[in-house]
Amino acid sequence: MVYSGRFILRDPKGNVIWKAKTTINGNVDYTEMLDTGNFVLANTGSNIYKWESFNHPTDTVLPNQVLKNGERLTSREMQNNYSKGRFQLHIRPDESLVLHTIIPESAYEYQTYYNSRTYDRLNKKNSSQRQEFGYQGHLFIIGHLHKQCRPVGGGFCGFNSFYVSKGGWPTCECPPGFPESAENGCVQEKVHNCELGDLKPEQVYDMVTLDNTYWHTSANYDVVQPTYEENCSRSCLNDCNCVVAVIKGWKCFKKKLPPSNGCVDSTVDVKAPIKIAKSGKLDKQVIMVGKSNKIQGDSIMLGISACLNILLIMAALIFFFFFFSHRMRRKHSTKSSNILGTNLHSFTYDELKRATDEFKEVLGRGAFGTVYKGVVSSSMHSAIAIAVKKFDKVVEEGAKEFKAEVNSIGKTHHKNLVRLIGFCDEGPNKLLIYDFMSSGSLSNFLFQSLNKPDWNLRIQIANLYLHEECGLKIIHCDIKPESIFLDNSFTAKI
């Protein structure tokens, strides 16, 4: 419909979901979708359209549609989000077609990386990229396989994944044992553990060989030669640090976490045996049973039958006491959660006090509080390590910092952001509960660890921290190695 000289589109509830940028002068008699795909507003008896969609392109160019000088194609932000994205194609006044990235909020244009006035030759040593419009209307930049495996960084697909070309289109896939989607990051299903107790490696792991697959720049911490496939696979299986090996010729290159810059290339004669945990074999309970078999004795506790009745009575009294106390605290915590407007788990102060063993182990200190290590039980009755941030000075500034951190981080989800699990807000006791980062902070890994990372791995961790894929932009204001943490897969998180 046309309202106040502007063409607008409303949903069934009357809300405006789209409107034309330009105003329309005069009356409109009818609208029509032409066979060319051009949607027009026109008057009877006139060959001049009052408004047409071909003059206002978004992210799609149809056959017979002309992209005029000054008109731009802008990609959408995501597949189901039609907000402006980061890529833009347009014709400059000098009639050159250019492609570049932009900052959607300010429309600032970065340096052009495609220009129709430039050209290159396609050969084995130097293959230029081509542009294709996909079925979603996106402009894809497609390159040959060997150009995607660069000598530094995490590669085209990042850590724990590999690049494969399917029908000329680039695809990122997760290897076996890393079941999550490549777009959200491939995470190891079972973290490798060198403490197997009485179990042998072949009882815990399987070795699966991937053909024509290699990890180009992943660190080689050991090379076995001369060797063959079975020998290389067995060597990686018995080495607790080895997660994948690459067999090339008579050499076996063993690699540890995180494997980076993975590629599948049918022209390269390589094999990659990868270590995969068998179902259930790496559960802590199985390993602890294996250890406990060594120390089990024939000792029997005496006097249990005599004390059983007393213990039952005491347990009943304690249960009722904590039951009513817990209900009262939950009421208070629920009010606090509603005020903050989040869906995070609300902990009581006593729960966190027990989880941290009276706030015993200190992980770090900041301007507003101290971070302690703790352990809580999940819904599956397994122990989960957590990091508890306790605000020491509950003054007005500290209270504002507490609510700001809950509201901002609690609504932000990103693979390079430490996940906020819950909080506690009981009067002066204000605490935040995060996932525990088992590899510690980046500063410890760089300056205190005996096993310092090579420079390729440092560059990879730094590249991940750029978090270009985050929809909600984050301004940290205190970037330093102590603020960056590493999980089991060496993924950088803040």
Catalytic machinery residues: 478
Contact 227, 252 (CB under 8 A): yes
Q: Return the HEC string of 56-90.
A: CCCCCCCCCCCCCCCCEEEEEEECCEEEEEEEEEE
Strands 429-435 and 420-426, bridge-based pairing: antiparallel
What is the CB-side half-sphere exposure of residue 94 using CA atoms within 13 A?
Answer: 5
Give the pair of three-digit tokens for residue 461: 């961790």
Give the pair of three-digit tokens for residue 47: 């060959």
Query: How far lies 257's CA from each of 129, 149, 380, 456, 490, in Å?
Result: 31, 18, 27, 13, 7
How far apart (Å, rounded) are the C-alpha atoms in residues 112 and 127? Answer: 19
Long-range contacts of 48-51 (CB under 8 A, 24+ apart): 50/24, 50/25, 50/26, 51/7, 51/20, 51/22, 51/24
Which residues, in sequence order, are bridge partners of residue 431?
390, 424
How far apart (Å, rounded) are the C-alpha atoms in residues 31 and 46? Answer: 13
Give the pair of three-digit tokens for residue 483: 């603020």
How far apart (Å, rounded) are the C-alpha atoms in residues 191 and 160? Answer: 13
Give the pair of three-digit tokens for residue 161: 């994944």
- For the chain, the maximum distance between any two Cα atoms, rounded to a whole number of angstroms, is 105
